[in-house]
Chains A and B, each alone.
Chain A
Amino acid sequence: QVQLVESGGGVVQPGRSLRLSCVASGFTFSSCAMLWVRQAPGKGLEWLSFIWWDGTHDDYAESVKGRFTISRDNSKNTLYLQMNSLRVEDTGLYYCAKERNIGSHSFDHWGQGTLVTVSS
């Protein structure tokens, strides 16, 4: 069965960095585009970053552009989110998700999330 397991969250001071990982199993990871989404406490879902199946193209929300970098290692079935210059408003639960099929921009499997808290 498809599984996505995020890790790497924690408590970090403003201005510091953190790298999240999402380990995939149960499907051909190298054939699927992937997405990072976050949810601030008590708030809605926020689209963050998207990467093509082969890692050759990525996109970012304005709120994280220039600070966050999405990447993937298809040999390790792992998706990453490098988060630099973290701000208090980056606090939230970070989910990775798998695109259902190329071009649909719909996501049929999600991890359970990893919590990031940015606080001094």
Chain B
Amino acid sequence: QSVLTQPPSVSAAPGQKVTISCSGSSSNVGNNYVSWYQQLPGTAPKLLIYDNNKRPAGIPDRFSGSKSGTSATLGITGLQTGDEADYYCVTWDNSLSAGVFGGGTKLTVL
């Protein structure tokens, strides 16, 4: 059971939009930056969003991040079949004095 709660799976059609939530508490999401990662099958994770809502160079603006209170959200618009992957949120937890990952969300593009 992860400290950060993500839906196990989401799905949408190509071209549509999807959001993935990451729910935590004041000891983690509520008071620390959240970052998001995409993990394509058989590959290492890739940074999509850092500092809640910033995109690294090379990440298309179809990917966006936001945070409100103790929840963070990853948004993906204009879905493509190549977006099918597992997505993870991560942040620091002040109570644990450790980082924590969400349990991951599998995105299916129907």
Encode contact with A along B70-87: 1 for CB under 8 Å, 0 otherwise.
000000000000000010
Contact, CB under 8 Å: B35 / A107: yes
Whether the pair B47, A45 counts as a contact (CB closer than 8 A) is no
Closest to B56 in A: A108
In the complex, B63 has a CB within 8 A of chain A:
no
A106 to B104, CA, bound (A): 16
Contact call B98/A47, Cβ cutoff below 8 A? yes
Task: Please state if B101 and A105 are interface contacts (CB–CB under 8 Å).
Answer: no
Q: Which of B51-98 contact A (CB under 8 A)?
A: 51, 56, 86, 88, 90-92, 96-98
The B-contacting residues of A in range 37-56, CB under 8 angstroms, are 37, 44-47, 50
Q: CB distance B45 to A95 under 8 Å?
A: yes
* Chain A residues whose CB sits within 8 angstroms of the CB of B100 once the complex forms: 47
A47:B90 contact, CB within 8 angstroms? yes
- Selected from B47, B92, B98, B104, the residue in CB contact (under 8 A) with A100 is B47
Interfacial chain B residues near A111, Cβ < 8 Å: 44
**A88, CB-defined interface residue at 8 Å:** no
Within 8 A of A (CB), among B8-65: 32-33, 35, 37, 39, 44-47, 50-51, 56
Q: Using an 8 Å CB-CB cutoff, how does the interface string of A96-112 with B read, 1 for contact, 0 for none?
A: 01001001111110111
Q: How far is the CA of A46 from the CA of B98 in the complex (A)?
A: 11
Asked if B104 contacts A105 (CB within 8 A), the reply is no
Q: Nearest residue in B to A95 (C-beta to C-beta)? A: B44
Q: Please state if A105 and B46 are interface contacts (CB–CB under 8 Å).
A: no
Give me 6 A-to-B residue pairs in the complex whose CB atoms sit less than 8 angstroms apart, sorted by A's number: A44-B2, A44-B102, A62-B96, A62-B98, A97-B45, A106-B35
